[in-house]
Structure 1
């Protein structure tokens, strides 16, 4: 880490400002108990009234305990903490009052203090972390390799190891279990990872919020077109989904929202909380018990942020609101121009400014129901097992040869034929025209003749039909087959051709 980078971080980071604040202990304690701890009295986000009430109760409790802190109003502190970057204030779609939630900077500060304090009172375990690192590296090597022989050898070794353990247990051997110290160590490692995971959601959510702010700022720029703003927003959203955080979050949502994964995870948590070695760890046990609903709430919160971005894009696509916004900008510019002219005229002529200056607005009030637009909902995630399909190369080659053997419709030559025939004969039906030029491409050529008749204004009678015979040839086998097709009665005429002849580039006929 370079010195310049460290200096800039320590001077500008909201996390560092929170740790250096005069009343940092009280701020962290309140934010942690209100928006971080998992329990009945805490949540991921709280409304302004609820958080204000909790802060008022917290202030009264501090005064009763003899602390001289937080003497101002609750609204003032909530506003200051939002401005400092420790709380994020937003307006949910389903609520009319603002809500608050922790920012990633507050999460980092709380996590740093929790980890630092717990190390002084809790055993520092190294064995479980080492095993976790080894297991992760082993899984990385196995999952990143596409070597079939290596993957097969690994699975065989795992199968043999499982068979040895099964045979040993069936033979009456003693089952090896973790020591209580090892149980507690692994349990605290899992709890630490869970707390880190819950804090990491803020980074993904902040990224989507940053995109939404950029889109909003771009929408206020009257010089940029809606297409440019929309393209930039969609590119930014796709970029987030393609980045490592976005790919990991999509995989996390796909796993956590799976009913089978949730059921297995709840069953595992229930078994873990019944272990005797950790019965005294009540706070950590409650944290793990609320793991599934807490993670689901965190994921839904990020998805709601993505929904707000979609709503921003939808408002951007509303051409009526865009025209109104441009018109408002033009009116404001006209007002500024008139004010400047009035000021210049007053200074030159000495005539005082009129005491009463007003505006007359001629407009109509448009009324629309907010229920006419559906709310954004996250896409349904299906837990579908991946299936491997083998490609039949012979079938693919056969279809490719058929595709390469297809012929294109020669539109210019077809229209030239219509010109030549109608010069000799004023009206001619499609079946009569095909006597001069039998179809060579197949049945699709009939569609081409009807398309020409439609575009050039010839008569197409859908009520009357005629039968056309088409001879097709298989490009692979060379075998011919005859197909009888009944089509609408199409009549090509010289008059419609001249009146509706399309403009074509090339040499004159």
Structure 2
């Protein structure tokens, strides 16, 4: 980080600004306890002012001159957009102002919390975590079946050795130091995850606010706006942040995984060597998965707000269009009533024919029911033996997984390659059906699209009879996300 960037952060970032405030201890102690320690979302403004008033009363009993302003004045200062500590808004279905903490407050609070002296700093468990992450990165991205099988066999051998040793009564048990170290790392990561949810929610809220601004200032057609809003909603879901959050949310919604997590937390809380003189932290960790679920639901509600904006926009547009139709109908009715009393002189209708054709009802032909038609589609027994079955047995299947594997082997992530370059490395084996298979691929990380109709590409292959063939088609590119 250079000097100019640090100057900008020092002047503008709310987290750094709160650390420079003269009442920073009051801000972090009160707001940190109200929102961060208790994992609380939005609260009514009046309830927060009342809680701060009680806090100031307790402080003034010891130090009457400290923090001389009133509770309402402090909350107004902290919720000012320039301060960036609290966000004021009206939730749906409520007429009372609510406030909630911002990611800047979370960052400042966590940074100050990290300044406390720790009597025990574990390093071995974090090293083990880093090694496990490296294993997941390397082995999880392996595309060679032989390498994947070899890794799974190594794991199986290791597990079988541990089973054999356990049957003989020989197995390693973590000592108290290792248990405390891993528990400390788990508690720290669990608290950081709650802070990450607040930041993800703020990022999603910024996208939602952008959609509201588009709706408020839109002057074009309804279809163009809907296309833009749906694209924004898709971008939220398909982004790395959105996909990671959805995977976490699906994990929380899994009943089996929730039961497993609850059983593990219950077992951890039953270990007296982990909590020591901080039993309140253990009680918070015992319910941390419920805190995760609450934070994830608040974030999910922010994402659902964009869909709500789409529905409200469509309802408003339908109401406006219906109102315009009624206005036109009433204008036509008023014009008709005015023309009935005083018809225009030049109002009339000219007919080229001297008379109008008249068709009487009895001149129409009577209903003539048709006999039922019996269709016998079964072939004669002697004909069944003469059917040609070569075409049926000559059908073949194009493996789309193989085609996707060819693309992933050639195209690196976040890159685009022309289809003819892939075919040059992996020649076509199934003829036109294989080319169509490439065009129909639609995996999450692959996108096949016609880039330029004016351009042209040539694909060569050899058919089943051994005859060379050539296909000319528009330029096609393959993008890997």
Q: TM-score by structure 2 length?
A: 0.65
- 1:154 equivalent in structure 2: 151
Look up the SS of the partner of 1:101 in the other structure: strand
Q: Which residue of 1 aligns with 2:442?
A: none
Aligned partner (choices 67, 74, 78) of residue 77 of structure 1: 74
CA distance in 2, matches of 1:318, 1:37: 41
Q: Hey, what does 1:116 align to over in structure 2?
A: 115
Q: CA deviation at 1:248?
A: 0.5
SS in 1 for 2:105: helix
Select between 152-161 and 287-296 the one with higher mean Cα deviation: 152-161
Give the C-alpha shift of residue 475 in structure 1.
Answer: 10
Contact 2:266 2:286 in 1 (8 A): yes
Partner of 2:131: 134
Q: After superposition, where does 1:405-416 map in structure 2 within 5 Å?
A: none
Q: For the residues of structure 2 that align with 1:176 and 1:462, how far apart are their CA atoms?
A: 94
Contact 1:230 1:316 in 2 (8 A): no
Instruction: Give yes or no for contact 1:198–1:298 (8 Å, CA) kept in 2.
Output: yes
Q: For each residue in 1:145-201, what CA deviation from the matched residue of structure 2 results, as whole angstroms up to 9, or x when unmatched? A: 12222222222222222222222122133x422221221111111111111110111
Alignment of 1:346-495 (within 5 A): 467=373
Alpha-carbon shift at residue 202 of structure 1 (Å): 1.9
Go from structure 1 to structure 2 and tell me whether the alpha carbon gap of 1:26 and 1:55 turns closer, same or farther (over 3 Å shift).
Answer: same
1:12 maps onto 2:12 in alignment: yes
Aligned to 2:301: 304
CA-atom RMSD in angstroms: 3.0
How many angstroms does 1:478 deviate by? 7.8
> 1:256 aligned to 241, 252, 258, which one?
252
Give the secondary-structure state (helix, strand or coil) at the position aligned to 1:254: helix
What is the 5 A alignment of 1:164-175? Answer: 164-173=161-170, 175=171
8 A contact 2:15–2:105 mirrored in 1: yes
Structure 2 partner of 1:30: 30
Unaligned ranges ≥5, structure 1: 328-458, 480-509
- Counterpart in 1 of 2:451? none
1:254: how far off? Answer: 0.7
Instruction: State whether residues 43 and 100 of structure 2, in contact with CA within 8 Å, keep that contact through their aligned partners in structure 1.
Output: yes
Separation in structure 2 between the aligned mates of residue 20 and residue 252 of structure 1, nearest angstrom: 36
Residue of structure 1 equivalent to 2:96: 97
Instruction: Give 1:253 deviation, angstroms.
Output: 0.5
**Distance in 2 separating the partners of 1:226 and 1:98:** 32
Partner of 2:100, secondary structure, is strand
What TM-score comes out, normalization by structure 1 length? 0.61
Contact between 1:316 and 1:322, CA under 8 Å: does it hold in 2? no
Distance 1:54 1:135 in 2: 45
Residues 67 and 258 (structure 1 numbering): CA distance in 2 closer, same or farther, change over 3 Å? Answer: farther
| Deviation digits for residues 247-277 of structure 1 (CA, Å, limit 9, x no counterpart) | 1101001111100010000000011111122
How many pairs are equivalent? 340
Q: Does 1:232 align with 2:228?
A: yes
State the secondary structure of the residue aligned to 1:121: coil
Contact 1:209 1:309 in 2 (8 A): no
Give the CA deviation at 1:30. Answer: 0.4
Show the 5 A alignment for 1:263-302: 263-280=259-276, 281-302=278-299
Alignment match, 1:181: 177
Structure 2: how far apart are the matches of 1:74 and 1:224?
Answer: 47
